[in-house]
Homo-oligomer: A and B are copies of this chain.
Amino acid sequence: MNYFVTGGAGFIGSNLVDRLLQGGHTVVAYDNFSTGHERFLEGAKTSSNFKLVRGDTLDVAVLTKAMRGADFVFHLAANADIRFGTLHPCRDLHQNTIATSNVLEAMRQLGICRIAFASTGSVYGEPRIFPTPEDAPFPVQTSFYGASKLAGEALIQAYCEGFNFTGYIFRFVSILGERYTHGHVFDFYKKLCQNPNELLILGGGYQRKSYLYVQDCIDGMLQGIERSSNMINIYNLGRDDHCDVNESIGWITDHMGLNPKREYTGGVRGWIGDSPFILLDTRKMRERGWTPTVSIKRGVIRTLQYFEDNPWVLEEEK
């Protein structure tokens, strides 16, 4: 198969590229390097089945040209920075919604009709049902990020219905693991490297979240695609358990051998649009044989080990 991966130099994208190449497939990675790193593709670049194209999903001409010849598109490129949505309310619209429209239009023009999309549990807003199933009550959005991803999902569904596309929509919890470059483990590790004696925590520390290890996430996407036969296939990807921010800080400080004074900004949310509790119902994926194998704690520790082995990731923060 010829795969086209937008955001192919990013955290999840580059891990996916490696997996697809290991599976004997041909891969074009498309990335604007706004948050991706070329170093993530060092392994991939040794393969003759791999090609890297530097480009933006907002540049329709370059995008369409790069996509030619693909059989299947993984659309992972996105502004994934949920926290700063209100600082630039149009960024998510452009980089997530309009970009997704561009990807779909390029596919339509090229006659490519299978797409997998990295969506997010944030589309559930602040759900009333836990664990939250794919058919939870009609959600109300609480972030620009969630709104833009929901719009991306909706566009994909319209292309499926209107142009016989096949769509695979994966709603992720936060993902952890090798090449992770933003989010709470990154922020805490970096702060603790700078000041091991104090740690400022956004919110009250009681926000409960589920985290998934990146290879489990990729297994989920690949198995979800393989084991689905509908026109539109929507799956939650997460773990059945969760931790709270304080627990996770305990693992991080224990691993680093630190005991910083914790300061809290307070409140049940860390920022506008932060969901106090994220726990997705993954029965639908599990019924298809998928099981995550790495615990949340193990995922956090592998992420820390990755930082220790790759200090450049923190220095080159984008």
Contact = CB atoms under 8 A, between A and B. Distances in A.
Interface stretch (A15-23, A149-157, A220-228): A149-157
B135 A146 contact: no
A162 B234 CA distance: 28
A174 interface: no
Interface in A68-106: 85-86, 89-90, 93, 97-98, 101, 104-105
Given A104-B89, A161-B272, A272-B162, A146 B154 contact: yes
Interface residues of A, number: 42
Main SS at interface, chain A = helix
A307 interface: no
Contact of A147 (B137, B157, B232, B234): B157
Contact of A138 (B137, B161, B163): B137
Residue of A85, A89, A140, A158 ringed by the most chain B CB atoms within 10 A:
A158
Contacts of A40: none
A142 interface: yes
A137 B140 contact: no
A253 interface: no
A111 interface: no
A75 B21 CA distance: 49
Contacts of A138: 124, 134-139
Given A101-B93, A155-B147, A140 B86 contact: no
Given A141-B158, A150-B150, 20 more contacts: A85-B158, A86-B162, A89-B101, A89-B159, A89-B163, A90-B105, A93-B97, A135-B138, A138-B139, A140-B234, A141-B153, A141-B155, A141-B157, A144-B162, A146-B154, A146-B158, A150-B151, A150-B154, A151-B151, A151-B155
